[in-house]
Amino acid sequence: IAGPLSEHKVIVLMKESSFTSAPLSSFWDVVPISETQLAKNFLESGVEVIDREQVRDTIPESIVLSAIKGNVEDARNIGLKAGADIVIVGTAVSKLKKNNEKEGTKIVQVNISVKAVSALDSSLIAAKSDFATVTSEYELSAELEAFDVTSHKLADFLLPSFHRYWEE
């Protein structure tokens, strides 16, 4: 264990598949858009977020991927090593739904699924999947906006769960 578990800290680790970026060899090679957006939403709400760079060298990729697949014990281990009492893991996928060449617009959909796990008692605090569909002239801007909208919806759902958990 890296240090004492501090209260009211979260870590967000997402596995993302984006149609606008190349496939990755390693989980740690890139910071996913969904992870950045969720962390930003939590920070704006006054929740302290531990950055993935702080744990990159202490947590094996296999443990993170196992936690993302639903292994609560591995999610707990991430929290203990990171010093976070809530671990948020999940997946995010973006895809081009429609390319309307006549109108010059692209329709992009983003799906994000997350689980919030208590590092203190290995329990699931909350879980949710959500999506957003955005139309834009440019694929990348549509994708970024869809990630932003979906992350916002998930943060709005998760934050009350965090506060209920911390009040217990």
Beta bridge pairs of residue 133: 109
**Buried-exposed string 103-132: b where 16+ CB fall within 10 A, e elsewhere:** eeebbbbbbbbbbbbbbeeeeebbeeebbb
As to burial, measured by CB atoms within 10 angstroms (0-12 exposed, 13-18 middle, 19+ buried), residue 167 is exposed
pLDDT digits (tens, 9 = 90+) for 109-119: 999 999 999 99
pLDDT at 41: 96
pLDDT at 6: 54
d(CA 140, CA 85): 34
The pair of structure tokens assigned to 32 is 């996913």
| Residue 2 pLDDT grade (very low, low, confident, very high; cuts 50, 70, 90) | very low
pLDDT at 105: 92
Mean pLDDT computed over every residue of the chain: 92
Tell whether the model's pLDDT for residue 68 goes beyond 70: yes
- What share of the chain in percent tops pLDDT 90? 82
Beginning with the edge strand found earlier in the chain, give each strand of the sheet holding 124-136 in spatial order. Answer: 48-50, 9-17, 86-100, 105-118, 124-136
Beta bridge pairs of residue 113: 91, 129
Beta bridge pairs of residue 112: 92, 130
d(CA 38, CA 44): 10
pLDDT digits (tens, 9 = 90+) for 70-106: 999 999 999 999 999 999 999 999 999 998 888 889 9
pLDDT at 47: 94
